[in-house]
Homo-oligomer: A and B are copies of this chain.
Amino acid sequence: MAARIQDVAKAAGVSTATVSRVINRHPSVSDSTRKKVLEAIEKLNYIPNHGGRMLRKQETKTILVLVPDIRNSFYANILYGMDPIMTEYQYNLIIASTYSDLVRERNLINLLKQKLADGMILLASVLDEAELRELDEMYHLVQLCEFNQGTTLTHVSIDNYQAAYEAVAHLISRGHRRIGFLSSNNSFLSTKLREAAYRQALRDHSITPDENLILRGTYSFESGRIGANILMNTVNPPTAIFCISDVVAAGAIQALYRLNLRTPDDVAVCGFDDIDMASQLTPPLTTVAQPLEMLGTMAAKILIDKIAGKEVKRSTVLQHQLMIRGTT
């Protein structure tokens, strides 16, 4: 079996306490003793047991991250951004997909209660504010991308209102007056803000929002295809479509293509998120870039600070960027 601290102690002719001190770089160990211990560690190929240390120190050096679906490139890029921080602070990530299922999400949160992780990052949680607040009293938690308006919980996101406003204003600046919006049927704050911004941007340019041009579906490719088809078959179809996500935009573009409508000449399209696919479409997609990696990095850093007992900002807002490309 694997060597334990006992074995090292015996081999080095010292106590386990001394071995522990060497491992944890405690200063009060003589050089000669340290040398003996390190040799024994080397010889026995000793690696400290995480479980033992965990139990004793009451910390897991593990963070739980709950995402709706790991297959979504949006979340995968955010997770990627957490890696450098995890490596730097020697934390591990338990990533789990909730599939936006309330029961599943609650079960996963049990991992926190079992003390399997020191804290949790929640992406687009389906828990309500009350439940979250209760959790927040017991555990360290950071909400990422989505949160509730006026929440007192720690969260990181972009300014969805401003981002959407700029996107719609851009379409208007390109001469469009009838602009469709393929939105989402969820109740996330980001959706509400983007819809509000869409309307306000129109009004600010003397355009009366037409509710028939706002369709609510999912974030999927299929939803974009269907939405665009419906929009283009209305009596007075739009000349531009603003989409809640890049994937939806991709679906919309395919639908337009099949309707023999050219992008951007016949219909302009703007996405949201700037996942890899956006720049790879033909023509490349105009979209609002979210700083995905940085969102992950910041959330991870803030959570680790919280765990370490530091004071952290309630709200962190990162910069978005309108990426004007070929579809507008």
Query: A: which residues have CB within 8 A of B?
Result: 2, 47-52, 54-55, 60, 62, 69-71, 73, 76-77, 79-80, 83, 92-97, 110-111, 113-116, 138, 221, 250-251, 253-254, 257-258, 276-277, 280, 282
Q: Least Cβ distance of A76 to chain B in Å?
A: 5
Residue of B nearest to A48 (CB): B114
Docked-complex contact A70 and B73, CB < 8 angstroms: no
Chain B: minimal CB distance from A60 (Å): 7
**How far is B280's CA from A280's CA once the two chains are assembled, in angstroms?**
12
Taking a contact as CB atoms closer than 8 A, the residue among B52, B54, B73, B250 that contacts A73 in the complex is: B73
Q: Are A70 and B60 closer than 8 Å at their CB atoms?
A: no
Is the Cβ of B93 less than 8 Å from the Cβ of A94? Answer: yes
Quick one: given A55-B55, A93-B96, A95-B93, are A114 and B50 in contact (CB under 8 Å)? yes
Query: Copies of this chain, how many?
Result: 2
**Does more than half of chain A's interface fall in helix, strand or loop, or is it mixed?**
helix
A108, chain B: closest CB distance, angstroms: 9
Closest to A76 in B: B71
Contact B115 A97 (CB under 8 A): no
How many Å lie between the Cα of A59 and that of B62 in the bound state? 17
Given A60-B51, A254-B280, A97-B116 contact (CB < 8 Å): no
Name the residue on B nearest A72 (C-beta).
B76
Closest B residue, CB atoms, query A138: B2
Which listed residue, B49, B92, B115, touches A2 by the CB 8 Å rule?
Answer: B115
**A67–chain B nearest beta-carbon distance, Å:** 11
The minimal Cβ–Cβ distance linking A109 to chain B, given in whole angstroms, is 11
A250 touching B110 by the CB < 8 A rule?
Answer: no
